[in-house]
């Protein structure tokens, strides 16, 4: 529809484009497919110098992951709690502050926006060092609240910034009409703006969840044996004596599948979310 080209070019691209698309899909998808297969492979089918796709599927790897001496169940619970709590706090505070920032009439608006954005962009390594010292002083190292706070250091500014971008898209006429109807500002926020930004809220929540769930640097620096999360379990499976790839693949499936599903569920709004609201993708 979008392109009209000379016949020769058209017939060439008719073959070339699907061929390239297949190459791209294989490039992106093959390692993930391989990981999925490996998770269900018996050890003998993994430890072979001839990678194979014919094997008898087994659940041994998953069984060992949760029942063996690996305590992955505990890691899973920590991950769920930290991700859940930090996402809810980030989204709730982010909605309030994002709305406030969008409608704030002050000459300091730009400065606050810059502060929020640069906090989100700060390199993890640079944030970790002072946070570690702070948490050490406050007794927050190796605690769940400490880890939640650490995850808020990147998810809260992200949620504020993104929600502010989503609220800014609500036409001003709608907001004004609500005020003229006699709404207070708070009622306008609750009954008009918040429902209109529903897609934005869901997108923000999903991305906060993904960032928190996948975090490795913060949790490995700030948590100990009692508060370790799933990505750390992956690190812990790497030992001097080698890596049990079957176990690791099973773990990767457990960690990745919920995020892949959540990510694809908000695909329509991903462009907005991942470009920090600079691109409207709906």
Partner 1 sequence: MSAGLDTAPRTTLRTRAVPPARAGRARRRARPPRGLKTFEFAMMAPALTVLFVLSWVPFVILIAMSFAKVRTLGGVSLTFTGADNWSAVLGDGAIWASWARSLVYFVAIVGLEMLLGLAVALVLHQLVRARSVVLSIVLLPMFLAPVLVGLLGRFMLDSTIGLYAKILQGVGLGDDLLASPSTALPTIVSIDVWQWTPLVALILLAGLTAVPPATLEAATVDGAGYLRTLVSIILPQMKPIILVALLVRSMDAIRYFDIVVATTNGGPADATKIIPIKLYEFAFRFNNQLGKAAVLGLTMLAFSIVMARIFLRFFGERPSIAAGDGGDRG
Q: Which of residues 73-112 bind partner 1 (CB under 8 A)?
A: 93-94, 96-97, 99-101, 103-110, 112
The region of 56-64, 66-74, 197-205, 233-241 touching partner 1 under the rule CB under 8 A is: 233-241
The region of 61-69, 80-88, 114-122, 194-202 touching partner 1 under the rule CB under 8 A is: 114-122
Does position 20 bind partner 1 by CB under 8 A? yes
Instruction: Report the SS3 class of residue 147.
Output: helix
List all residues 6 or more positions away from 86 whose beta carbon is below 8 Å from its beta carbon.
Answer: 147, 148, 151, 152, 155, 208, 212
Among 11, 31, 73, 225, binds partner 1 (CB under 8 A): 31
Among 44, 67, 77, 118, binds partner 1 (CB under 8 A): 118
The region of 59-67, 70-78, 132-140, 197-205 touching partner 1 under the rule CB under 8 A is: 132-140
C-alpha span between 30 and 84 (Å, rounded) = 31
Judged by phi (left if over 0) then psi (alpha if -120 to 50, else beta), residue 176 lies in: alpha
Least distance in angstroms from the C-beta of 205 to partner 1 = 15
Least distance in angstroms from the C-beta of 272 to partner 1 = 8
C-alpha span between 76 and 255 (Å, rounded) = 9
DSSP-assigned letters across all residues of 109-137: HHHHHHHHHHHHHS-HHHHHHHHHHHHHH
Least distance in angstroms from the C-beta of 118 to partner 1 = 4
């Amino acid at each position: 529809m979008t392109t009209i080209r000379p016949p020769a070019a058209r017939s060439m691209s008719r073959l070339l484009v699907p061929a390239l698309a297949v190459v791209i899909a294989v490039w992106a998808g093959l390692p993930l497919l391989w990981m999925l297969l490996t998770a269900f492979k018996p050890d003998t089918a993994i430890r072979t110098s001839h990678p194979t796709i014919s094997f008898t599927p087994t659940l041994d790897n998953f069984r060992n992951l949760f029942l063996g001496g690996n305590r992955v169940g505990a890691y899973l619970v920590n991950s769920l709690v930290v991700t859940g709590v930090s996402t809810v706090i980030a989204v709730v505070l982010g909605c309030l502050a994002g709305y406030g920032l969008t409608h704030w009439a002050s000459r300091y608006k730009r400065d606050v926006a810059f502060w929020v954005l640069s906090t989100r962009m700060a390199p993890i390594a640079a944030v970790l060092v002072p946070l570690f010292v702070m948490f050490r002083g406050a007794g927050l190292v190796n605690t769940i609240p400490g880890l939640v706070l650490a995850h808020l250091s990147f998810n809260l500014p992200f949620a504020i910034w993104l929600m502010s971008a989503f609220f800014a898209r609500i036409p001003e006429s709608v907001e004004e009409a609500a005020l003229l109807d006699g709404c207070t500002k708070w009622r306008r926020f609750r009954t008009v703006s918040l429902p209109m930004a529903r897609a934005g809220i869901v997108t923000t929540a999903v991305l906060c969840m993904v960032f928190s769930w996948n975090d490795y640097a913060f949790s490995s620096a700030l948590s100990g044996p009692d508060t370790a999360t799933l990505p750390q379990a992956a690190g812990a499976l790497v030992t001097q004596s080698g890596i049990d790839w079957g176990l690791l693949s099973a773990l990767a499936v457990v960690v990745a599948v919920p995020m892949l599903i959540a990510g694809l569920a908000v695909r329509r709004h991903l462009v907005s979310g991942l470009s920090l609201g600079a691109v409207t993708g709906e």
